[in-house]
Structure 1
Amino acid sequence: MLDISMNFTPFIMNAQTPPRRFALLVGVDLYQNNGSRKSIKHNGVSLKSFRGYVNDVRLFEEFLRHHFQLHENRRPTFENIKREFLDITSRNRPGHMFFSHFSGHGALLPGVGVSPAGRDEDPSLMTMDYCC
């Protein structure tokens, strides 16, 4: 299991300050299933672990590593992904670029208080710890 979360800046610098570039790459092959999350019918929720999602991210990482300097590598939990999005958002300025890629399970989940009016389900990305 691997996820890649990175900030990258161009390695070619010119006289003007280049725009900053950010990327958040998430690959989830292993899902934690401890039975603590329950479905509407009160059954334990579980997600099957797969192979391939991490490979998707590794290909993107290889491409970005070849062209840009990278750092950071964390587990794809809800809190880690949220923290990275908030960090990138706080440092983002006009002219900066942001690239995000998620490779893993997705699902339609019941809407929450901030869901658009009239929509019962929201498309959702399943983090490593969703079932917990």
Structure 2
Amino acid sequence: MKAKLAVLVGCNYSNSTHELRGCINDVHSMHHTLRTRFKFNPRRIETMTDDPHSKKKPTGENIKAALKRMFDQAKPGDVLHFYFAGHGTLIPAEVALTDKPESAIVPSDHNFITRADFQQLVNRLPKGATFMFLADTCYSGGLMDQEKEQIGPGPRNGNHVGAEPTPRMIPFETVLSQLAPMADLDDQDIGGLMVNMFGANAPAMFGANAPAMFGANAPAMFGIPPNQFPPPLKHGHGVLISGCEPNENSCEGEIDGKFHGLFSYGVQKALKEHPDPITNKQLVLRIQQIVGKLYSKQHPCLYCSDKDAHALFL
């Protein structure tokens, strides 16, 4: 019998200049849905939030460790699910040493998790297992390499319901300005800054900076030279359902008296309105309709193989 495993992460960044209000609510909603609708064993769901009473904080190190544990347990046929609600950021191409800006999620300690980090993990997935990534964060459409965008942007106009929603986004420059004083380094040297602060748990894409700082003791994961990422995801290994396009904001707002991400709200509403099994493509089309009525500048997307587009969600 196939196993179902999940890692759920929500970051509200309380008492900061970029505080959010709905991410922990979204994690609780997703946890309930996994248990009741999709029959996940609660003991196989690892949850991390930055609630003051949370036992384990969603730092970059802790999130990657939880994902690694999940992938290490995976067997052929298993379903792995990662859900992240929080800020995203966009690393400029000239900083990332790539031909386009790089999307990243922002853990509670601002230790970015990038496309390269996800590729290192997902390429370990056993044959026949499935990885489902739901990302309610700005720029989330660029978080995993896939061969095909199954569902892209819909119609565009400027309408929205209620107050202007809050983007789940931290400008890259803001993160640098906050981290640099703690590391006593030039905030232009992002690679050195991240490696100095986070060591072996720094984003994989900044690995070229490690030898200069650690010499022969540089962590093995830092053997990535500039412009060279881990190989693209293996065919059919990953499904990304993103809250928005790679260049868009994924927003949150008050809905029915509680704060939620518009995308996360759309996921929950679409599933409640369709109690029967639903394919990934059918689900995302429904989510687009729901989110579009709330805020039409945000377009959830689906990235996966043709086969996975027509596979059942979870």
Could you state the TM-score of these two structures normalised by the residue count of structure 2? 0.29
In structure 1, the residue matched to 2:59 is: 77
Q: Greater CA radius of gyration, 1 or 2?
A: 2
Which structure shows the higher strand fraction?
1
In structure 2, the residue matched to 1:54 is: 24
Name the CA shift for 1:31/1:79 in 2 (closer, same or farther; >3 Å). farther
- Deviation of residue 110 (structure 1)? 3.8
Instruction: Determine whether 1:87 maps to 2:69.
Output: yes
Q: Secondary structure at the match of 1:50?
A: coil
Give percent identity, aligned residues only. 28
Aligned length: 100
Q: Deviations over 1:78-103 (max 9, x none)?
A: 01100011111112122111111111
Q: Which amino acid aligns with 1:52?
A: G
Q: Which amino acid aligns with 1:98?
A: L
In structure 2, the residue matched to 1:30 is: 13
- In structure 2, C-alpha distance between the alignment counterparts of 1:24 and 1:108, rounded to whole Å: 23
In structure 1, the residue matched to 2:90 is: 108
In structure 1, the residue matched to 2:108 is: 128
Q: Secondary structure at the match of 2:62?
A: helix
Instruction: Determine whether 1:118 maps to 2:110.
Output: no
Q: Which amino acid aligns with 2:2?
A: P
- In structure 2, C-alpha distance between the alignment counterparts of 1:127 and 1:117, rounded to whole Å: 22
Please give the residue correspondences for 1:11-26 in structure 2 after superposition, counting only pairs within 5 Å: 18-26=1-9
In structure 1, the residue matched to 2:33 is: 63
Q: Secondary structure at the match of 1:55?
A: helix
Preserved CA contact (<8 Å) 1:27 1:56: yes
- In structure 2, C-alpha distance between the alignment counterparts of 1:95 and 1:112, rounded to whole Å: 40
- In structure 1, C-alpha distance between the alignment counterparts of 2:64 and 2:79, rounded to whole Å: 18
Q: Deviations over 1:52-80 (max 9, x none)?
A: 01111110111223333213443211011
- In structure 2, C-alpha distance between the alignment counterparts of 1:117 and 1:59, rounded to whole Å: 36
- In structure 1, C-alpha distance between the alignment counterparts of 2:61 and 2:94, rounded to whole Å: 18
Q: Which amino acid aligns with 2:57?
A: R
- In structure 2, C-alpha distance between the alignment counterparts of 1:95 and 1:57, rounded to whole Å: 25
Which structure shows the higher helix fraction?
2
In structure 2, the residue matched to 1:8 is: none
Q: What are the ranges of 5 or more consecutive residues in structure 2 without an aligned counterpart?
A: 48-55, 111-174, 180-314
Q: Secondary structure at the match of 1:68?
A: coil
CA RMSD of aligned residues (A): 2.6
Q: Deviations over 1:29-58 (max 9, x none)?
A: 12686xxxxxxxxxxxxx511100111111
Q: Secondary structure at the match of 2:35?
A: helix
Name the CA shift for 1:50/1:122 in 2 (closer, same or farther; >3 Å). same
- Deviation of residue 111 (structure 1)? 5.4
